[in-house]
């Protein structure tokens, strides 16, 4: 177990390093002028040259990559923003909690809606309940989260006035963003739960449980669910990736001061340190979450525990 | 046999598997009686409807596609097929229990084996969960597994050990009737003997009646008091083990014996039964074995032969005998 953890944590290093190099390279070869963005369209040529010199933007690619990796990894210094000179690390730290809250509440909503919906669909296979939940989940899965977010705002905030349109001054502000990013995941998880549940219901050990005289509901919850969850966990892991992506857009739509909106502003303004800092942190969060998902396998499936031990 | 010794009687059972396009006639008008304390062997080829009969008794046929379309299964003057589901749940695992064919898949991989045994006890006996645990440990010991392995998962057991666990589950509540569906098919020959011995011992000890479903005549000879030979969902011959083994009458039964290697006869060739089981969606009229039977005449192909008494309890469904 301990060995597995250490091994997995060591694996984070090449993953985060690889992501950083990739993003740095992409940013390097993307058109756009950070100096113009930072100084404004009417800045003089001298001040632009001075800006590029100061931030090392005139250096060759490999030199810049080297100095970026050196400052980021051994020193954990993500640099300062080109635009306002604020420390990227400080900004990210103060924004981190918003992003974590939104993505994790989002994934909890996905799980809380998706798994029961999948179970209901599977246990009522080929009835109206099954068809209804599958049609709804197909609809939700194929809908982009930003569009759903806008619909929610229109209806619940503007038409009914129940919830704030933007901002997270109180907990009510979290409802719409979390629901809008969670709903797509809920749909995918529901479909995966349904199919793996149907698979499990046909297994011999379910017949054994029935032959013991166990009731149908106890069989579903006590015998089927845990076995059906194993492939669902994989789906949840995949949804985490999608969710981190949709949280970027949702933070912008709902003006939430999280890492996502910071990253989007950074990209728009060609603010390289901000973009790189955000991506490094997001890839770290994502990798750690996937590690947790993998550990969940061991909780659900005893066969996996042996793999951990060896 | 006198009436009072009958534990369970199946009367004219008909089971069909139906899909949109066709209907499989799996069990056709089967009547059987299982006596108290006795072992009845149900012998036949794969697909003859043996497992379907056992699952129909337990009412655990997958519905859809399976449907019992006729007949009665009487136990204590009650038709099991008419019972409400909650009454049936009290019978399953308690008065009637079942051992399944494949021990590899019949245990839940995410629950420790002890708990899977304990579950049956907790369901049917009014005991605290601690007592149920203790009883489950006793059951493990009874089937030859140390009780320290209570908290192990099925994947930590070998096939033979898993089958022991399944037998422990089936016998946990001292059932009156045990439906053993090819309990040794998936096991090594050495383990087969162990498992059969163990089942015999437990049967003696608990006085359980057994319906032994198998295609292995060796097992029948070793364990059964009476034998029913089933072909294409129909009983073709029934009698005591001696009657069937000493004087097999139905051409199908003799064919089954002809398919067994015999070490005593030197150089003898095996005489397998020619052809295949008839398509259960399109059974022949008349005797269902006629297309494969060397003795078949025109008479066999018209109208289904009735079971005829051949003396003692020996009955056979053949026009030629």
How close does chain A come to B10, measured CA to CA in Å? 19
Is A215 close to B89, i.e. CB distance below 8 A? yes
Which residue has 């289904």 as its token pair? B304
Domain ranges of chain A: 97-261
User: Do residue B183 and residue B276 come from a single domain?
Assistant: no
Give A226's contacts in chain B (Cβ within 8 Å).
110-111
Domain assignment present for residue B233? The answer is no
What pLDDT sits at residue B2? 46
Nearest CA in chain B to A201: B62
Whether the per-residue pLDDT at A5 is higher than 60: the answer is yes
Q: Where are the alpha helices (DSSP H) in chain B?
A: 50-58, 85-91, 113-124, 129-142, 159-171, 189-206, 217-223, 241-246, 251-258, 298-301
How close does chain A come to B98, measured CA to CA in Å? 7
User: Do residue B26 and residue B139 come from a single domain?
Assistant: yes
Task: Read off the tokens for B249.
Answer: 């009458």
Nearest CA in chain B to A223: B108
Domain assignment present for residue B236? The answer is no
Task: Give every CB contact of residue A144 below 8 A, 6+ residues apart in sequence.
Answer: none
Nearest CA in chain B to A214: B89
Looking at chain A, the whole-number percentage of residues with pLDDT higher than 70 is: 99
Q: Nearest 5 degrees, angle CA A264-CA A269-CA A275? A: 50
How close does chain A come to B102, measured CA to CA in Å? 8
Is B100 close to A208, i.e. CB distance below 8 A? yes
User: Do residue B279 and residue B201 come from a single domain?
Assistant: no
Nearest CA in chain A to B112: A302
Domain assignment present for residue B161? The answer is yes
Nearest CA in chain A to B87: A213
Which of A208, A226, A303 is opposite residue B107, by nearest beta carbon?
Answer: A208
User: Do residue B268 and residue B184 come from a single domain?
Assistant: no
User: Do residue B79 and residue B189 come from a single domain?
Assistant: yes
Task: Read off the tokens for A126.
Answer: 């080929």
How close does chain A come to B131, measured CA to CA in Å? 18
Question: B52 touching A, CB under 8 A?
Answer: no
Mean pLDDT over all residues of chain A?
86
Q: What is the dihedral of CA A26, A30, A33, A38, to 10 degrees?
A: -50
Question: B108 touching A, CB under 8 A?
Answer: yes
* Best CA proximity match to B165, nearest among B233, B226, B223, B108: B108
Domain assignment present for residue B237? The answer is no
Gap between the Cα atoms of B273 and B256, Å rounded: 7
Which of B60, B62, B109 is opposite residue A211, by nearest beta carbon?
Answer: B60
Whether the per-residue pLDDT at A110 is higher than 90: the answer is yes
Instruction: For residue range A252-293, list pLDDT tens digits in order.
Output: 888 888 888 888 888 888 888 888 889 888 888 888 888 888
Is A207 close to B153, i.e. CB distance below 8 A? no
User: Do residue B189 and residue B255 come from a single domain?
Assistant: no
Domain assignment present for residue B230? The answer is no
pLDDT tens, N- to C-terminus, chain B (321 residues): 444 588 888 989 999 888 888 888 888 888 888 988 889 999 988 888 888 999 999 998 887 788 888 888 988 888 888 888 888 898 898 899 999 888 889 999 999 999 999 999 998 988 888 999 999 998 898 888 898 999 999 999 988 889 889 988 988 888 889 999 888 887 778 878 888 888 888 788 888 899 999 888 888 888 889 999 998 888 889 999 888 888 888 888 888 888 777 766 666 677 778 778 888 888 888 888 888 888 888 888 887 888 888 888 888 888 876
Give B169's contacts in chain A (Cβ within 8 Å).
208, 212
Is B94 close to A213, i.e. CB distance below 8 A? yes
Sheet with B315-316: list strands edge to edge.
Answer: B96-99, B177-181, B209-214, B39-43, B226-231, B234-240, B315-316, B308-309
User: Do residue B273 and residue B147 come from a single domain?
Assistant: no
Q: Where are the alpha helices (DSSP H) in chain A?
A: 2-28, 34-39, 45-54, 61-72, 88-123, 128-142, 145-152, 172-201, 204-211, 216-218, 225-253, 259-268, 272-300, 302-309
User: Do residue B203 and residue B267 come from a single domain?
Assistant: no
How close does chain B come to A189, measured CA to CA in Å? 21
User: What's the CATH number where B165 sits?
Assistant: 3.40.50.300
ipTM summary value: 0.84
User: Do residue B76 and residue B129 come from a single domain?
Assistant: yes
- The predicted model gives A101-106 an average pLDDT of 90
User: Do residue B282 and residue B208 come from a single domain?
Assistant: no
Is A207 close to B100, i.e. CB distance below 8 A? yes
* DSSP per-residue string spanning B55-110: HHHHT---TTTEEEEEEEEEETTEEGGGS-HHHHHHHBTTTEEEE-S-TTTSS-TT
| Residues of B (167-186) whose Cβ lies below 8 Å from A | 169-170
For testing the chain B interface, which of A196, A207, A210, A213 should be mutated: the one with the most B CBs within 10 Å?
Answer: A213
**A97-261 to CATH, choices 1.10.940.10, 1.10.3720.10, 3.40.640.10, 1.10.10.10:** 1.10.3720.10
How close does chain B come to A157, measured CA to CA in Å? 46
Domains held by chain B: number: 2
Gap between the Cα atoms of B47 and A307, Å rounded: 39
Whether the per-residue pLDDT at A100 is higher than 60: the answer is yes
Question: A214 touching B, CB under 8 A?
Answer: yes
Give B181's contacts in chain A (Cβ within 8 Å).
none
Looking at chain A, the whole-number percentage of residues with pLDDT higher than 90 is: 16
User: Do residue B257 and residue B202 come from a single domain?
Assistant: no
User: Do residue B111 and residue B203 come from a single domain?
Assistant: yes
Gap between the Cα atoms of A240 and A178, Å rounded: 13
Gap between the Cα atoms of A145 and A151, Å rounded: 10
Range of the domain at B106: 3-224
Q: What is the dihedral of CA A240, A246, A250, A251, to 10 degrees?
A: 60
Is A207 close to B108, i.e. CB distance below 8 A? no
Instruction: For residue range A161-192, list pLDDT tens digits in order.
Output: 888 877 777 787 788 888 888 888 899 999 99
Whether the per-residue pLDDT at A310 is higher than 70: the answer is no
For testing the chain A interface, which of B66, B80, B84, B106 should be mutated: the one with the most A CBs within 10 Å?
Answer: B106
């Amino acid at each position: 177990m301990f060995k597995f953890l250490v091994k997995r944590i060591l694996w984070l290093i090449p993953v985060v390093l690889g992501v950083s190099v990739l993003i740095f390279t992409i940013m390097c070869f993307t058109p756009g002028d950070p100096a113009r963005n930072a100084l404004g369209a009417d800045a003089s040529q001298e001040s632009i040259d001075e800006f590029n010199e100061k931030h090392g933007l005139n250096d060759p690619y490999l030199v810049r990559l080297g100095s970026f990796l050196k400052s980021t990894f051994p020193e954990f210094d993500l640099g300062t923003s080109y635009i306002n000179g604020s420390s990227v690390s400080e900004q990210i730290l103060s924004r981190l909690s918003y992003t974590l809250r939104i993505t994790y509440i989002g994934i909890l909503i996905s799980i809380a809606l998706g798994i029961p919906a999948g179970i209901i669909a599977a246990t009522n296979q080929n009835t109206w309940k099954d068809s209804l939940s599958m049609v709804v989940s197909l609809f939700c899965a194929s809908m982009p989260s930003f569009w759903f977010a806008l619909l929610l705002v229109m209806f619940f905030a503007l038409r009914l006035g129940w919830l704030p349109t933007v901002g997270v001054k109180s907990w009510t502000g979290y409802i719409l963003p979390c629901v809008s990013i969670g709903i797509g995941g809920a749909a995918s998880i529901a479909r995966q739960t349904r199919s793996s549940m149907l698979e499990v219901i046909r297994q011999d050990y379910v017949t054994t449980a029935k032959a013991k005289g166990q009731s149908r509901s106890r069989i579903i919850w006590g015998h089927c669910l845990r076995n059906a969850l194993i492939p669902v966990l994989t789906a949840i892991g995949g949804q985490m990736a999608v969710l981190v992506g949709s949280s970027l857009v949702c933070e912008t739509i709902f003006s939430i001061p999280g890492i996502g909106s910071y990253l989007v502003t950074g990209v728009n303004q060609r603010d390289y340190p901000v973009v790189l800092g955000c991506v490094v942190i997001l890839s770290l969060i994502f990798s750690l979450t996937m590690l947790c998902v993998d550990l969940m396998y061991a909780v659900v499936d005893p066969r996996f525990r042996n793999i951990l031990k060896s | 046999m006198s009436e009072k010794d009958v534990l369970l009687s199946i009367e004219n059972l008909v089971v069909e598997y139906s899909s949109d396009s066709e209907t499989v006639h799996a069990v056709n008008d089967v009547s059987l009686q299982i006596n108290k304390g006795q072992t009845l062997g149900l012998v036949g080829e794969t697909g003859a409807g043996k497992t379907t009969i056992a699952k129909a008794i337990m009412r655990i046929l997958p519905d859809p596609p399976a449907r019992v379309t006729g007949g009665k299964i009487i136990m204590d003057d009650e038709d099991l097929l008419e019972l409400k589901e909650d009454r049936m749940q009290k019978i399953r695992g308690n008065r009637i229990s079942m051992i399944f064919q494949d021990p590899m898949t019949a245990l839940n991989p995410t629950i420790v084996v002890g708990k899977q045994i304990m579950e049956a006890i907790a369901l049917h006996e009014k005991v605290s969960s601690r007592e149920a645990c203790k009883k489950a440990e006793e059951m493990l010991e009874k089937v030859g597994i140390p009780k320290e392995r209570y908290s192990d998962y099925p994947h930590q057991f070998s096939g033979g050990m898993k089958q022991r666990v399944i037998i422990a589950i089936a016998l946990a509540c001292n059932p009156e009737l045990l439906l053993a569906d090819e309990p040794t098919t998936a096991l090594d020959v050495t383990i087969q003997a162990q498992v059969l011995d163990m089942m015999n011992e437990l049967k003696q000890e608990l006085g359980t009646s057994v319906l032994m479903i198998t295609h292995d005549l060796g097992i029948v000879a070793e364990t059964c008091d009476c034998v029913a030979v089933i072909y294409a969902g129909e009983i073709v011959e029934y009698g005591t083990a001696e009657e069937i083994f000493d004087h097999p009458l139905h051409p199908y039964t003799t064919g089954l014996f002809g398919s067994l290697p015999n070490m005593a006869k030197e150089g003898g060739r095996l005489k397998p039964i020619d052809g295949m089981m008839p398509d259960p969606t399109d059974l022949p009229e008349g005797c269902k074995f006629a297309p494969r039977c060397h003795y078949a005449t025109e008479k066999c192909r018209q109208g289904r032969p009735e079971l005829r008494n051949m003396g003692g309890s020996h009955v056979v469904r053949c026009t030629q005998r």
